[in-house]
């Protein structure tokens, strides 16, 4: 009986310590991630710098922006090479790949490319993004699709770094 009481007292103390630690952790201010900083610094912009919806994630000559259907439709009409990155906010591969893709867009000097980060199967995915994934037969996050003259010229689900991104984009410039 005495051992059982000691066990329960120990368990109670352990639970109190864990609870206190959890409360302390939750009360800490959130540290901004690199992606949070990029998102905060970037303004809302569309093709040609129009204020219209998709946040610019990277790129000066060739923007890489959050997917918005209207801007995607404009891009299709523009004749530009379109890069689609199907991204899930819960995917560690997508999060690891994001700075590489952004760096690739920052390196582009041509204005003939536009990229869209398309939410895929996550908490931010809208109906337009679901339809786009269906249209291209995307079944997995971190899939990349390149369009030239409105036609799919590449679809790849492998992990890309900056060099791979530039290699693939430059094939179609």
Looking up residue 62, the CATH number of its domain turns out to be 3.40.30.10
C-alpha torsion 96→100→101→105, nearest 10: 150
| Mean pLDDT of the chain, nearest integer | 86
Cα angle 77, 82, 87; round to 5: 130
| C-alpha gyration radius of the chain | 22
SS (H, E, C) 56-77: EEECCCCCEEECCHHHHHHHHH
Same-domain pairing of 65 and 6: no
Angle between helix 92-107 and helix 162-170 axes, rounded to 10 deg: 60
Q: Is the pLDDT of residue 20 over 80?
A: no
Given this model, what pLDDT does residue 29 score? 64
Q: What percent of the chain has pLDDT over 70?
A: 84
H/E stretch holding 124 reads none
Residue 39, domain extent: 34-170
Taking a C-beta distance cutoff of 8 angstroms, is the pair 59, 105 a contact?
Answer: yes
Same-domain pairing of 16 and 52: no
Residue 138 in tokens: 């995307």
Same-domain pairing of 12 and 51: no
Same-domain pairing of 126 and 164: yes
Instruction: Report the pLDDT averaged over residues 111-134.
Output: 96
pLDDT tens by residue, 22-61: 777 776 665 544 444 444 443 333 444 444 468 999 999 9
Domains in the chain: how many in total?
2
pTM above 0.85, yes or no: no
């Amino acid at each position: 009986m005495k051992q059982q009481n000691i066990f329960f007292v120990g368990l109670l103390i352990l639970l109190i310590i864990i609870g206190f630690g959890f409360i302390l952790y939750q009360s800490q201010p959130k540290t901004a991630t690199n992606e949070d900083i990029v998102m905060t610094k970037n303004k809302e912009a569309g093709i040609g710098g129009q204020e219209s919806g998709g946040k610019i994630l990277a790129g000066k000559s060739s923007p890489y922006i959050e997917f918005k259907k209207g801007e995607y439709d404009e891009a299709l009409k523009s004749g530009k090479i379109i890069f689609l990155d199907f991204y899930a906010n819960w995917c560690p591969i997508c999060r690891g790949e994001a700075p590489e893709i952004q760096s690739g867009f920052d390196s582009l000097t041509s204005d003939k490319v536009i990229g869209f980060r398309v939410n895929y199967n996550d908490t931010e995915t809208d109906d337009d993004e679901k339809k786009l994934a269906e249209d291209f037969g995307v079944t997995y996050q971190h899939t990349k699709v390149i369009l030239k003259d409105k036609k799919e010229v590449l679809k790849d689900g492998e992990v890309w770094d900056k060099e791979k991104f530039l290699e693939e984009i430059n094939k179609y410039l």
